Amino acid sequence: MIDLSPQMQQAINNQISYEGYASNFYLALAYWCDDQALEGCKKFFIRQSDEERFHMLKLYEYMSESGVLPITPAIAQPPINYTSIQEAFQKVFEQERSVTLSIHNLLKLAQDENDYNTQHFLQWYVDEQREEEAVIRTIMDRIKVIGEGGQSLYYIDKEVEKINLQVVAAEAMEKGE
């Protein structure tokens, strides 16, 4: 059994809440995109929502394996309206940066407490966040190149759908599928 300090337990429970919020945030974005007829973006955000839920469940499992009962958080309502897809992706980037900072703070706490098991466990999250931010940066860069306007939404949606398919393919390769 892994011995988690009370501070680490609280910090991981907080991270569970952040990951749950991120999952709901992406789900709300998916259906905002659906309302905007952005099917590719909707698919991207649904996959992102599923990923964030998976991240949350990994934290639950780690706590359980450590002999600690995780706390299921109440999750705040994410925004449901945006003025543009550009604004939506800017908010996504800010959300991912916030989660990255939280993971880094967790890792720092684990280092300060000489909690090697948690440090090892959190490395997966560090790598995952680097990948998440890189994908969002790529999308934001393509949005800048495509520009704004009615027709640009069609091309943005297609680019996001293409990136989503690439990410899904890369994940399948990692799993050996």
Question: In this structure, is residue 1 part of a structural domain?
Answer: no
Query: What is the per-residue pLDDT for 96?
Result: 94
Domain that holds residue 155: 6-175
Query: What is the per-residue pLDDT for 1?
Result: 57
Question: In this structure, is residue 50 part of a structural domain?
Answer: yes
Distance CA 169, CA 177 (A): 9
Distance CA 149, CA 154 (A): 10
Question: In this structure, is residue 100 part of a structural domain?
Answer: yes
Query: What is the per-residue pLDDT for 97?
Result: 96
Query: What is the per-residue pLDDT for 169?
Result: 87
Structural tokens at position 42: 């909707």
- Can you give the pTM of this predicted structure? 0.91
Task: Count the domains in the chain.
Answer: 1
CATH number assigned to the domain comprising residue 135 = 1.20.1260.10
Give the chain's residues under pLDDT 70: 1-2, 177
Question: In this structure, is residue 131 part of a structural domain?
Answer: yes
